DNA sequence: CATGCTTGGATAGTGCCGTTGTCCGAGGAA
DNA sequence: TTCCTCGGACAACGGCACTATCCAAGCATG
């Protein structure tokens, strides 16, 4: 498949594909001769994943490159590759350690993890970017004056745990072993918009039920 | 409170506050004399909300203005104001109607809503931006070759319904009547990062439990 | 009253980022 | 041979959140 065909099949302009090649999001095609390169199905798959990450997942190009770097890192085992790829996914704003709201948020998040018995997450808490972004998000709530403590958070956390459990079930049943890392990344990136949309739909529905249209 | 004090208390630079004033995210202060304007606690609250929307919620300035416009629309009842404010919140990418994956996604979403009995949402489905963004997100999954139908979606939707139900309970107990619309918007914007972070934390925890670190 | 600092408003500019246009020399096809 | 198209390199564009600069008008200190 030539670049122009790749463009046609994916719906991505040749200029943009060239840009992704330049940025290292897409491996170069096999060079057939001086002026022609050959791309295969793998390139198409990867290109679709890249588009999904950038367009649907709103992930910055630089971050996408990093995530894909982990996905492709043959030196790592599957679990580690997945972990490090997810690790690299974009997080929310970083917490401002000067802020007292951040300290309060951190305290509540720690209490939450203790009460949930998420020991593994707790051990990693100092290093995990996800943990930090949770602190930042909770701090934002607190700063605006909304009471928000571990007791309020716990049911949410348990619900999201059920969601995460389903995510992994889905991966186990629907992804072949070889593709599992790529699939997991795609899922992490693509499930979130679905979840968010479902969340808002549910809000609309429940709000309409309670208060009318 | 003068502009400089507002800046100091909120941690937002005067230049940025001026920018928000210009963009209509913040009402002008009461003009004391030719060179001094007076801001009150309401301005500070609003400024914090704006920052939260933009920094934590990653909402574009233009969208934030639109959302706040609905919040402040005195001509609407509270429920409608809330609805239209949430309505204006940024959505994911718009579905490309040419794409067969979008048609499949729309079919599955419709089946999902039917099976859930979300009749109100179903009636609004053609107009709701949230519905469209759900279709787009599901279409992205399908396009990448991940099977994803109403049966798979239903448990997710039910979990998110429980989440939404909690959201509204929270609003009823924690927001004074006058602030409810503003609170609901803040919640819609600020709960989502919390949820997302909890989701990822839960994924980390469950993944570590199943497959080790 | 004078002088120097600060205020709020207007405007242009900055930096980043995803994307696109332009130009080129080299092939491949009629 | 001639013309079209290819892939590659590079510069430019457009949008967006934010910031620096300038200005005239106070206010506070001597």
Predicted confidence pLDDT, tens digits, chain A (213 residues): 888 899 988 889 999 999 999 999 999 988 888 778 899 988 998 999 899 889 888 899 999 998 888 888 877 766 667 777 777 777 777 777 778 888 999 999 999 999 999 987 777 767 778 888 888 889 888 888 888 889 999 999 999 999 999 988 888 887 666 667 777 787 788 888 899 889 988 988 888 888 776
pTM higher than 0.75, yes or no?
yes
Both B151 and B176 in one domain: the answer is: yes
Residue B212 has pLDDT above 70, yes or no: yes
Residue ending a domain, among B65, B86, B107, is B86
Same domain, residue pair A51 and A95: no
Indicate yes or no: strand C within 7 A of the C-beta of A14.
no
Q: State the total domains in chain B.
A: 2
Domain end residue (candidates: B40, B67, B86)? B86
pLDDT at A166: 92
Please check the confidence at residue B154 and state whether its pLDDT lies above 90.
Answer: yes
Footprint of strand D on the protein (CB under 7 A): A 2-4, 14-15, 18, 21-22, 28-29, 31, 35-37; B 13, 15-16, 18-19, 32-36, 54-55, 60-62
Q: Is A141 on the interface with B (CB under 8 A)?
A: yes
In angstroms, the CA A158 to CA B61 distance is: 33
B18 and B96 share one domain: no
Any chain B CB within 8 A of the CB of A204? yes
Domain limits for position B189: 91-211
Of A133, A163, A200, the CB nearest to B156: A163
Shared domain check, B129 and B82: no
Confirm if B37 and B17 have CB atoms less than 8 A apart: no
Q: Distance in angstroms, CA of B129 to C1' of D13?
A: 30
Better pLDDT: B201 or A211: B201
* Chain A contact for B1 (CB, 8 A cutoff): no
**Which position has the higher pLDDT, B75 or B62?**
B62
Query: Among B8-12, B101-105, B188-192, which stretch is predicted with the lowest mean pLDDT?
Result: B188-192
Q: Closest to B55 (Cβ–Cβ): which among A93, A170, A197?
A: A93
- Which of these ranges, B48-52, B59-63, B145-149, has the smallest mean pLDDT? B145-149
Per-residue CA distances from B192 to B26, B57, B62, B200 (Å): 23, 8, 20, 12
Whole-angstrom distance, CA of residue A8 vs CA of residue A40: 13
Residues B7-21: what's their mean pLDDT? Answer: 92
């Amino acid at each position: 498949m030539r670049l122009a065909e790749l463009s046609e099949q994916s719906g991505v302009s040749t200029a943009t594909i060239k840009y992704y090649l330049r940025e290292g999001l897409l491996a170069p095609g096999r060079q057939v001769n001086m002026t022609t390169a050959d791309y295969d199905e793998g390139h198409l798959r990867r290109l679709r994943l890249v588009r999904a990450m950038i367009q649907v997942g709103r992930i910055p190009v630089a971050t996408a490159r990093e995530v894909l770097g982990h996905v492709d890192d043959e030196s790592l085992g599957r679990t580690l590759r997945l972990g490090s790829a997810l690790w690299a996914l974009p997080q929310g704003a970083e917490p401002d350690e000067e802020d007292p709201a951040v300290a309060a948020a951190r305290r509540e998040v720690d209490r939450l993890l203790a009460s949930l018995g998420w020991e593994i997450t707790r051990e990693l808490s100092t290093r995990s970017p996800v943990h930090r972004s949770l602190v930042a998000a909770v701090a934002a709530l607190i700063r605006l004056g909304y009471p928000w403590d571990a007791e309020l958070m716990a049911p949410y956390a348990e619900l999201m745990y059920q969601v995460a459990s389903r995510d992994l079930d889905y991966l186990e049943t629907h992804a072949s072993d070889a593709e599992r890392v790529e699939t997991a990344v795609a899922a992490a990136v693509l499930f979130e918009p679905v979840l968010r949309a479902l969340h808002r739909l549910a809000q609309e529905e429940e709000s309409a039920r309670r208060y009318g249209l």
